[in-house]
Structure 1
Amino acid sequence: MADHTTERTPFNVDTNYSGNSPVNRPAETIKMAPGKRSRKSIWEKLFSGQELLTTLTIISTLLAVFIGLALRIILKDKRWTEREKMYIRFLGDIFLRMLKMLIIPLLTCSIISAIGSLDLSLSKKIGFQSILYYVATTLFAVFQGIFWVLLIRPGKFAKDKTSYVVPVDDGKRNITTQDTLLDLARNLFPSNIIESCIVQDKTNLIYNVSDPKMSFNDLTTWNITFDTSRGTNVLGLVVFSVALGIACARLGIKARPFIETVDALGEAIMLLTKGVIWLSPFGVFFLVVSNMLEMESFSILLGQLGLYFMTVLIGLIVHGFITVPSLYLLCLRKFPFKFIMNMSPAIVTAFGTGSSSASLPVTMHCLEGANRIDQRVSRFVLPIGATINMDGTALYEAVAAIYISQVKDMELSVGQLLAVSITATMASIGAAAIPQAGLVTLVMVLDTVGLSSDNISYILAVDWLLDRFRTVVNVLGDAIGAGIVAKYSKEELLKIDEFNIGQRSDHIENARTAETWNTTPIYKFQIESTACILVNGSE
């Protein structure tokens, strides 16, 4: 019987599916005889290719934590100046800027190419599965966060409720929950798609002392002005890219040149990404060291805010490494350990940068390379997930709001807890995929239970560190979601590839038939060129 692992796919069709179908296996796959694995092969596996990047990234992170702690202990009396911290963080910032440089072209090209090259019925199926997964996991995260904070009750154990309060900037933005939700809707539909690459729309409320109709304590009576704030409007770009991809899919063959151009640009960006990713061990090292030095005091982390910190951390660990992987096990019928291990570079990058968007190029690389997820699925699911799937943020905001209410001796009713869960879910969707964006949307959740935004000062001391952990959960949730969607879309994608192979064969046969009708040198050259291109896999 022939060994299917040596079969080659006709026309060099790129099949990046995960699974055990012969079509999905690389032509060079060779089965190893059982019992032949040696210590040398394991060593080579750890220090070659993708495994080398994973190993270096993990080692650099652990080394950064060790050096950061050592510097704090050895130089415990030294007060690090902002300039010194900036010098240490400099190379990490360069790495972060390189990643952010790739976000917009990668996000837009991925979505347009993925939707435009698929049948609309399949795009709808993948989109529905993705949204269903996002909503389910976000709700799981919120309810789990509420469960842990009500069980542990960290706010009731704070002995001194004011000593760890961090002053809030007096120039904070005055805003209501209604205005925040309206800004979210406005940003979904940007008036200028180019401008949305650099700014977001926002509402400002201005108090006029001379106007007797205004009440200083009632923000709804203040004058409304519309302004912009610096930052990429990721939601607007995603909506525009999805709409443009659907339009291209409906146009069919007419939009094919445009889709090929966008796809080529996306591949070029991914090629750049691969180069940047190999710098991640160095970039993450300097980012983590600087973060360790910026921590004000371990006594705060281990003392008054320690129980709150542990409550959030327990919720994030249970959700990110038990609940969501359990969904993977349930849906794919296989353990997720190897899948998660292959995502190590993306997980470490998420911890170092604190940004789901900045981690997006690395996440795509790990999914398509190590985990062999079809790029049409990964480039459809991940950009949207990095924008709206914020499980860690949703869990954190629910815990933070209830913790602050416990500190203020405020008992929340069942209705208020339900309001917290709904608002935390909506706020996590509206949170930009940038560091500490959850702290901004937390104002919405606090307003739901009647707490002032000034109360955010109770958790500021440890928020920067928790932000890293919840970003890890966000990125891991996106990756596992892509794996689940790829599993349920595998048959349809395989049929599309089989159809494309058949179409190419028909084109070649028609070209050869036409050659017998007209044997003039020029026409014959065109037919041969066309057949050659089709055989090489171009569409």
Structure 2
Amino acid sequence: MALHWRIMIAMALGVIWAIASNYLGWNDFTKAWIGPFGTIFINSLKFIAIPLILFGIIGGVASLENIGSLGKMGGKTLFTYLVTTVISVSLGLVLVNLFNPGKTDDEAMARQNRLEYEMWATENKVEVKDNKNLMASATPEEISRIKSVMVSDTASADYKDVVAKKSAAEKKMGGPLQPLVDMVPTNLFKAFSEGEMLQVIFFAIFFGVVLAFLPNEKVGVVINFVNGMNEAFVKMVDIIMIASPYFIFCLMAGVLAKMANTPDEMFEIFYSLGKYALVVLLGLILLIFGFYPLLLRLFGAKVGYREFFNAMSPAQFLAFSTASSAATLPVTIECVEDTLKVPQRVTRFVLPIGATVNMDGTSLYQSVAVIYLAQVFGVDLDFQQQLGIVATATLASIGSAAVPSAGLIMLMIVLESVGLNSFWVVLIYPIDPLLDRFRTVANVTSDATVSTIIAKTDKG
């Protein structure tokens, strides 16, 4: 049986096990004895990702006969990633404005949410985004009641952990050239240990260029060592993927067991925020099954529709299981190289950059989420303000780490940038783990699409 079918069956069995363990009261057993194997699986892929990127890029760059082609490839890669990101954000804005998932027919609820927004804006000295002023007609009893239920930082422990990560992300944000500063490591071993992907990529490209300039009789041993190490880590991925269906079963069962302790909670997670989730999913489906195949056709890539998705299905299912572009990267590289036949010199350069800076699914999700939350609280954002969301979400997606729920952290920053309450993300927090998996699939599919296009257009 093909690997992607085995992975799909394992995911389905994991969901069935989680639902059954909820009903039978086995949740603690699932979390203690099954879930950890899923964590082991993700950790195994993550520790392979950094050395695979390091040796792959060094070997690929060092083998280039024309170093000038590297700059052209890099420019085309970044430009293509930027275009797909802007289109993703724009698609999200079109869909959320078309379906209005955050608007409600319950006038009392709409009034309460709007008053909550105006009270938050007044307390935090933030300009109200439109000309409405319900505070003028609010009674003291109404204001007192709304204050008692306002969304604030008194949320769950998990949510506070996200807030702490957001604060850490904000500290790293500096001036307009801060991304360039962050790209150059101050300590190479620290960059490796903390998984600073851009810094690893910078070092690998620099080291590979130096090897390419030196005569082969002096650095031939080093290049052979790099290529040998690269083959060894690729083989490690092959071995891990043989057992991946069993690990993915454990991963899905463990994740769902942590999300809900009772059957009612589990079904509430999938039922609540339904309209919002459907708009996000519709956008991601249009990206994955519409936009990316169309892009391949426009650039003349000779990859059939079915051929492309058959090739990428193991990486896509793994992306859904792990919710991490970084953890999926070794398998993405293998799928694109072995099945789509994209040259190694392209995949080892384009895909690691994509896993770091190209987050189409995250960008679409952020644009939908911001407008959805604005609609819930009765805030009407005009066209110019929504264009600002396009710019901010694009930049935020570039800075978003390739790890689970990183998009939620960046969403808080996007909300603040347009003058909205960042703590509103607590409303969509329960469904975020599920949507995170779907948007990771879009991210991985986008990376594969761009690498195929770069290979088609590259003359090096």
TM range (shorter): 0.7 to 0.9
User: 2-side partners of 1:412 and 1:448: how far apart?
Assistant: 13
Tell me the TM-score normalized by structure 1: 0.70
Structure 2 match to 1:117: 63
1:85 aligns with 2:24: no
Bigger proportion of residues as helix:
2
Which residue of structure 2 aligns with residue 397 of structure 1? 366
Are 1:53 and 2:3 an aligned pair?
Answer: yes
> Does the 8 Å contact 1:145/1:399 carry over to 2?
yes
Structural mapping, 1:184-333, within 5 Å = 184-199=179-194, 232-251=195-214, 253=216, 254-296=218-260, 297-331=265-299, 332=301
The answer to whether the Cα contact below 8 Å between 2:270 and 2:431 also exists between their aligned partners in 1 is no
- Asked whether the equivalents of residues 30 and 253 of structure 2 are also in contact (C-alpha less than 8 Å), the reply is no
Q: Deviations over 1:164-198 (max 9, x none)?
A: 99925557437499744326454312210111123
CA contact (8 A) 1:392 1:474 kept: yes
CA distance in 1, matches of 2:259, 2:150: 17
Q: Which runs of 4+ in 1 moved over 6 A?
A: 161-166
Distance 1:255 1:69 in 2: 57
Q: 1:88 to 1:114 in 2, by over 3 A?
A: same
Cα offsets for 1:317-336 (capped at 9, x unmatched): 11122111211122225433
Q: How does 1:369-518 map to 2 (within 5 A)?
A: 369-489=338-458, 492=460
Residue 326 (structure 2) pairs with residue 360 (structure 1): no
TM superposition shift of 1:63: 2.6
Q: Helix, strand or coil for the counterpart of 1:191?
A: coil
Match of 1:134 in 2: 81
Larger radius of gyration: 1
Q: Distance in 1 between matches of 2:381 and 2:430?
A: 25
Q: What pairs with 1:65-84 in structure 2 (closer than 5 Å)?
A: 65-72=15-22, 74-75=23-24, 78=25, 80-81=27-28, 84=30
Which secondary structure does the structure 2 equivalent of 1:272 belong to? helix
**Structure 2 Cα separation of the partners of residues 248 and 354 of structure 1:** 36
Q: Distance in 2 between matches of 1:245 and 1:177?
A: 30
Contact between 1:60 and 1:282, CA under 8 Å: does it hold in 2?
Answer: yes
When residues 270 and 449 of structure 1 are mapped into structure 2, their CA distance, relative to the original with a 3 A threshold, is same
C-alpha displacement at 1:446, in angstroms?
0.6
Aligned to 2:13: 63
Deviation at 1:365, TM superposition (A): 1.5
1:342 equivalent to 2:302? Answer no
The higher relative CO (CA closer than 8 Å, separation ≥ 6) is in 2
1:101 to 20, 34, 47: 47
Unaligned runs of 5+ in 2: 114-148
Whether the 8 Å contact between 1:328 and 1:336 is mirrored in structure 2 is no
Any conservation in 2 of the 1:356–1:386 contact (CA below 8 Å)?
A: yes
Provide Cα deviations, 1:91-127, integer angstroms capped at 9, x if missing partner: 2111111111201110111111112211212222322
- RMSD after superposition: 2.5
Contact 2:325 2:444 in 1 (8 A): yes
Secondary structure in 2 aligned to 1:427? helix
What amino acid is the match of 2:73?
Answer: I
Structure 2 residue corresponding to 1:181, chosen from 173, 177, 201? 173
What residue identity is the alignment partner of 1:129?
A: K
Q: CA deviation at 1:252?
A: 5.0
Provide the rounded CA distance (Å) in 1 between the counterparts of 2:282 and 2:151.
22
* CA-to-aligned-CA distance 1:302-330 (integer Å, 9 cap, x gap): 54411111111111111122111211122
Whole-Å separation in 2 of the counterparts to 1:334 and 1:178: 41
Cα drift, residue 350 of structure 1? 0.7
CA contact (8 A) 1:164 1:300 kept: no
Letter in 1 for 2:226: V
Q: Could you tell me how far 1:255 is from its partner in structure 2?
A: 4.0
1:138–1:389 CA contact under 8 A, matched in 2: yes
Counterparts of 1:262 and 1:321 in 2: how far apart (Å)? 37
Q: Percent identity?
A: 35
Aligned residues: 405
Deviations 1:251-297 (A, max 9, x none): 35354432222121111111111111112111111111222333333
Q: The residue matched to 2:173 in structure 1 has which SS?
A: helix
2: CA distance between counterparts of 1:238 and 1:409?
44
